[in-house]
Amino acid sequence: MQSGRSAYYDAEAARYDASRGGSERADDAARAVRRLVPGPGVLLDVGGGTGIVSAALAAQGFDVLVTDLSTGMLALARDRLPGRAMAALADRLPVRPGSVDVVTAVWLLHLLAPAEADGVLAEAARVLRPGGHLVTTVDKRQAHGQRGAVADDRARVTEVAARLGLVPAGETTFTGASAWGSATDADPVFPLAAFRSGR
Ligand SMILES: C[S@@+](CC[C@H](N)C(=O)[O-])C[C@H]1O[C@@H](n2cnc3c(N)ncnc32)[C@H](O)[C@@H]1O
């Protein structure tokens, strides 16, 4: 499953940015993340792909690290953020416990099986410092006018996060017109939810 997903994104990498809203979507997403957290700090962008959002987050003042499983996507992230992009599964982050101010997961959880998504949330809880924030997209497919995925269901994510000591800390949205094939809404609005580490 994971190798299949990696192969898909390896093949998709060259056209990914332009077909997913380009820098307008990335800049809007980065501004949305910035609104949800108290201040810039060390930010780990999990499943950061080509780094288009990660670079926009760096432009917002965050000290950004990017992880992804696709070597094709990561090659573009390495061009954008030299020395800051690492190959890693989202539920096995190469980062010390309590060492990160913000974890972002933009357009990631909806791709995963629920158990895998729960592993990502647990990893976020592990690497966040006390008072740090997880910021993740939720209900992503609904924004495209499609049936929702289980793994990024807002209520489910909130419940799993609570069990991990991550308390709701605000919501906002970002936009990003997308020419990508399965998008049925020409002007989607993507919900973004924040959770603060109470540990
Ligand atoms: C839809 S893209 C989003 C990329 C980026 N966050 C953005 O908003 O442009 C999903 C990314 O998640 C990565 N991914 C999927 N499953 C993953 C996993 N289990 N661990 C790490 N990365 C994963 C894919 O390789 C892909 O780059």
Run of H or E residues at 166: strand 166-175
In the predicted model, is pLDDT for residue 116 greater than 50?
yes
| Residue 5 CB less than 6 A away from ligand 1 | yes
Q: What is the pLDDT of residue 180?
A: 59
Instruction: Name the residue with higher pLDDT: 52 or 186.
Output: 52
| Structure tokens that stand for 61 in this block | 């003042």
Place of tokens 């077909």: 19
Q: What is the pLDDT of residue 144?
A: 81
Run of H or E residues at 66: strand 63-68
CATH of domain 2-197: 3.40.50.150
pLDDT band (50, 70, 90) for residue 188: confident
In the predicted model, is pLDDT for residue 151 greater than 60?
yes
Ligand 1: atom nearest CA of 13 is 27
Closest residue to atom 26 of ligand 1, CA basis: 49
Output the CA torsion 77→83→88→94 (10° steps).
-150
Domain ranges of the chain: 2-197
pLDDT band (50, 70, 90) for residue 1: very low
Instruction: Name the residue with higher pLDDT: 4 or 21.
Output: 21
How far is C-alpha 17 from the chain's CA centre?
15
Q: How far is residue 187's CA from residue 178's CA, in Å, rounded to a whole number?
A: 8
Q: What is the pLDDT of residue 185?
A: 63
Q: What is the pLDDT of residues 57-104, one digit of tens each?
A: 999 999 999 999 999 999 999 999 999 999 999 999 999 999 999 999
In the predicted model, is pLDDT for residue 181 greater than 60?
no
How many other C-beta atoms are found inside a 10 Å radius of the C-beta of residue 114?
A: 16
| Residue 69 CB less than 6 A away from ligand 1 | yes
Q: What is the pLDDT of residue 187?
A: 75
Q: Name the nearest CA neighbour of 44 among 119, 98, 5.
A: 98
Q: What is the pLDDT of residue 178?
A: 66
From 111, 116, 178, the mutation candidate for ligand 1 (largest count of ligand atoms within 8 A of CB) is 111
Lowest mean pLDDT among 7-11, 98-102, 107-111, 185-189: 185-189
pLDDT band (50, 70, 90) for residue 3: low
Q: Phi and psi dihedrals of 130, rounded to 5?
A: -55, 130
Average pLDDT, the chain: 93
| Residue 108 CB less than 6 A away from ligand 1 | yes
| Residue 73 CB less than 6 A away from ligand 1 | yes
Ligand 1: atom nearest CA of 105 is 6
Distance from the alpha carbon of residue 104 to the mean position of ligand 1, in angstroms: 11
Per-residue pLDDT averaged across 4-26, rounded? 92
Instruction: Name the residue with higher pLDDT: 128 or 19.
Output: 128
pLDDT band (50, 70, 90) for residue 183: low
